[in-house]
Amino acid sequence: MNYHILKKDELDGFIKKLSNSMKVVAPVAKDAGNFAFQEVSGASEIALKYIPTILPPKKYFMPPREKMLDFDISGPQPVDKAVLDAPELAVFGVHTCDLAGIQCLNMVFSERPRDYNYLRRKEKIFLIGMECGDYCDDHASCALVNSHMPSGGYDLFFTDLGDRFIVHVNTHKAEEIVEEMGLAKAASADMTALEKIREHKRGAFRNEIGVDPRKLPEMFDKGAKSKVWEDVGHRCVACGNCTNVCPTCYCFDMADTINLDMKTGHRDRTWDSCQFETFAAVAGGENFREERADRQRHRYSRKFKFPLDRFYRFFCTGCGRCTRTCMADISLKDTLKTLAKETV
């Protein structure tokens, strides 16, 4: 694909033209220095520089609560009808760490048995990435997992060049939209400016843990009984915040709700968390991860060890949300550093 140029003062027109054909959501500034993806109608509402949003854009691909089907048991045979609410949607301003998270979810839900609700919703989403600068806070660890640089997974990708954006066109759908809007092709000077920005990022973003990422799975093998898990387990309050805000956590629960007529109802899917005490409970009263220390170790392993065996990549994207939102001030970076001291 190719690169185009969008002048800064043309961004509002770009957003408004896009909103003529689909709903547009983007990062918006909230109270207390927080940001959230929500519907916008113009560029003035968008926060172009922001730390990761409260919830990742995962919420549009896999909603926190989603009706899966309606059912009717009044007849001789139960009848059910699948439900899918998937309107056309443009998600603007997605940072590389969240793009990496969406790539992880794409892999998970494309495995058999495929999750067709997720995949069909994904087809309806037009994904526009945004280059993040070196203005993220101290909680991020994106350089450790190499999610600070763009690696695909988007339709368009914007990089701020000062008075203009250079826009990478990555899909045929994006190419059609760019041509329809008449964006000019990028010149060689624009490509040089882009490379300078990328070179600056390579120098500014450093491995935040100081450990070769290839050694992380070995750290978890050697540190399975480390005292670090007891420490975080004692501090953890099992609120589930860390998993709810994670771009790659995908555990869910299913529940049926019967209407007052006792004949009809619906089935909902809701986000679940491996940090809840009941998550690993089974029939007979057995609980395979009753202790909070075990659940914390499991959560970290699901980011840095288990996915490598199955998907050949980390499922931590370094966004820092789990640390920002933890009510017990448990830091992912500090936990990894302590584990590294014991095992490397």
Task: pLDDT tens for the chain, 344 residues: list them.
Answer: 699 999 999 999 999 999 999 999 999 999 999 999 999 999 999 999 999 999 999 999 999 999 999 999 999 999 999 999 899 999 999 999 999 999 999 999 999 999 999 999 999 999 999 999 766 788 999 999 999 999 999 999 999 999 999 999 999 999 999 999 999 999 999 999 999 999 999 888 889 999 999 999 999 999 999 999 999 999 999 999 999 999 999 999 999 999 999 999 999 999 999 999 999 999 998 999 999 999 999 999 999 999 999 999 999 999 999 999 999 999 999 999 999 999 98
337: its two tokens: 């550093």
62: its two tokens: 């896999």
Buried b (16+ CB within 10 A) or exposed e, 124-141: ebbbbbbbbeeebeebbb
The structure's pTM equals 0.95
